[in-house]
Structure 1
Amino acid sequence: MEVNMKKILILLLILALSVSCSSDKKNLKGEDTYEVGYGDKNVMQATEAKSEEAVSDSGEKVVSDEKIIGISSIYVSTTEFDKDSEYLLELNKSFEGKIDFIAKNKSDYSGLEVLNLTLRIPSDKMDQFMNSLRDRFPDHMREETTKSNVTMEYRESETRIKVLEDKLKRLRELLAKAEEISDILEIENNISYTIEEIEIQKGSLKYLEDQIQYSTAYIELKETKSHAPSQSNASFTSKVSQAFKDMGFIFVNTMKTLIITLIYAIPYIILILIGRFVYLKFLKKRLQKKKKVKKEEDDV
């Protein structure tokens, strides 16, 4: 009986050792590693952990800093184009902004200029920047502002990077224990893929940080010969006076456009006149020939 018990114990010990070796072999091959995706369990657990950290001991929620991306489109008309163009560039400089795009164009017909700017203003100074523009152009500026809350996207990117870095650390530990060439190659491929994913996520996070740190201002400054008076302050007399001024301005620009159009049309006008002259010449000869034939027939 004792002999049978000893045999049973020995068999159980051998079975336990074989299971342990199998588990170690599985870990060395990297099969126990985890992948990261938008619905990854590890990401979800880490995000939940961060959410729990946002709750104080008293049970009250602590609101973290929100990540906001601000974009403003600004349209300005001015009678002092050069002066206001210089003002916009100096204002951007005073607020430590960056110029992403600048273009100045002139209309071929009216000769009026247009300045297009894409400015990146530090987000904590954007309100002051907009107030400065409103003070400069109180009646001749139109603005459109949108704000996007990207806090969730930002936090998810941070969490994904942390999960990937933990995965990379674990893979390197497995690589240090690996002995077979096939295991080493498989783990190294997984490491390369993980490093690439980390770089992609860090690039996305860096772009988000830049968009959050600097608000974007698209500015269009258009030159005009005259401004209509503010509707809230202008009297009837000033409105009538301005209407006559605008009428004269429109008439002059219309005549300029007409003259320029006629100049462009000169070659076509000349061709039409030449064609008409040739046609009339041909028609005249034909009529003369008919008259001559008819006269000869009458004489006969």
Structure 2
Amino acid sequence: MKTTLKFSLYVWILFIPFLSACGQSGSSYKTESTADYAATEEATMATFVNQQDGTEGGTSNEPIVQGLHVIKTGNMQIQVQDLDKAKEIVLQKVKANKGFTSAANYNDYSYQKTQNITIRVASSNFENLMKELANIGFVENQSQNSQDVSEEFVDIEARLKTKKEVENRYTQLLKDAKTISEILEIEDKLRVIREEIEAKEGRLRYLKDQVSLSTINLTLTQKLENYSKPPERSFFSRLFENMGEGWDDFLMFVVGVMRLWVFWIVLAGIIFIIAKWRKARRK
């Protein structure tokens, strides 16, 4: 009897680790695949930030120096004597500074002609081109704006790296998926994370374009010498004109009232019926 009990105890002790291993292997994928990808992303992001700060594992304490990313924009309005000649000079100066025009708009009014030009130029040549354009004519208005997007630039790059790491983890989980429900669940999470990656990459491309190429909004204006303002009218001429307009408004009012003749007939009939009913009631 004792021998039998000892043998059963030994078998049970040897069998417990095997059951534990089977249970863990059967539940490990389910736990990983159903975890919310947002929590996974936050955990990966925290790891990335710690690595950047040199706080994880104590491997690095050196500060990270990020580049300066600035978007430069200039606005300039210049009055010139000859608009066509000034436009040619602008194009020459833009070409000399390795820039290009991305948009142009021409307007011809009775008193002046205007040419709006949108110029894109390398940020290193931005200030030099602004100075050269100022010599074309009389500068009526000029302004410059610099927007530092370094923080957003670094934040997007960090989040992109995090999201791509999460994408790789889900891709690996997809390879190990066994059931249809698990495959569909992981594919849905992959679709969401990939859309977010594409949005971040698009924003990053836009920022890089704006930083590398500055924008100058230039307006050239030519006053027309043969333009003469219409003479001012006298008090009596404006008075008689307004009286005529008042008479026209009165006629329009009469016409509008007559257009509602059906309404007036119906209203008169209703009033007549009510008056007759009240008279009969008094009797």
Query: When the two structures are superposed, what TM-score results if normalisation uses the length of structure 2?
Result: 0.69
1:13 aligned residue (14, 17, 29)? 17
Identity level (%): 22
Matched, 1:257 2:229: yes
Distance 1:49 1:60, change over 3 A: closer
What secondary structure is seen at the aligned counterpart in 2 of 1:25?
helix
- 1:113 aligns to what? 113
Shift of 1:62: 5.6
Amino acid at match of 1:34: Y
Output aligned runs, 1:264-275, within 5 Å: none
Matched, 1:24 2:24: no
Alignment check: 8 A CA contact 1:33 1:167 kept: no
Shift of 1:100: 2.4
Output aligned runs, 1:222-261, within 5 Å: 222-224=221-223, 253=227, 256-258=228-230
The size of the alignment, in residue pairs, is 233
CA distance in 1, matches of 2:203, 2:52: 20
- 1:97 aligns to what? 99
Alignment check: 8 A CA contact 1:33 1:171 kept: no
Distance 1:143 1:36, change over 3 A: farther
- 2:218 aligns to what? 219
Shift of 1:214: 0.6
CA distance in 1, matches of 2:14, 2:50: 47
Output aligned runs, 1:145-160, within 5 Å: 145-160=144-159
What secondary structure is seen at the aligned counterpart in 2 of 1:96?
coil
CA distance in 1, matches of 2:49, 2:152: 11
Cα deviations by residue, 1:90-137 (Å, 9 ceiling, x for unpaired): 2222222232221111222x2x11111111111121122122123444
Output aligned runs, 1:47-126, within 5 Å: 47-52=49-54, 61=63, 63-108=65-110, 110=111, 112-126=112-126
CA distance in 2, matches of 1:17, 1:94: 73
Output aligned runs, 1:128-143, within 5 Å: 128-137=128-137, 140-143=139-142
5+ long unaligned stretches in structure 2: 248-283
- 1:40 aligns to what? 42
- 2:251 aligns to what? none
Distance 1:161 1:98, change over 3 A: same
RMSD over aligned Cα atoms: 3.5
Amino acid at match of 2:220: L
5+ long unaligned stretches in structure 1: 226-248, 276-300
Output aligned runs, 1:281-292, within 5 Å: none
Alignment check: 8 A CA contact 1:134 1:141 kept: no
Amino acid at match of 2:101: I
Amino acid at match of 1:20: Q
Distance 1:44 1:84, change over 3 A: farther
Shift of 1:198: 1.5
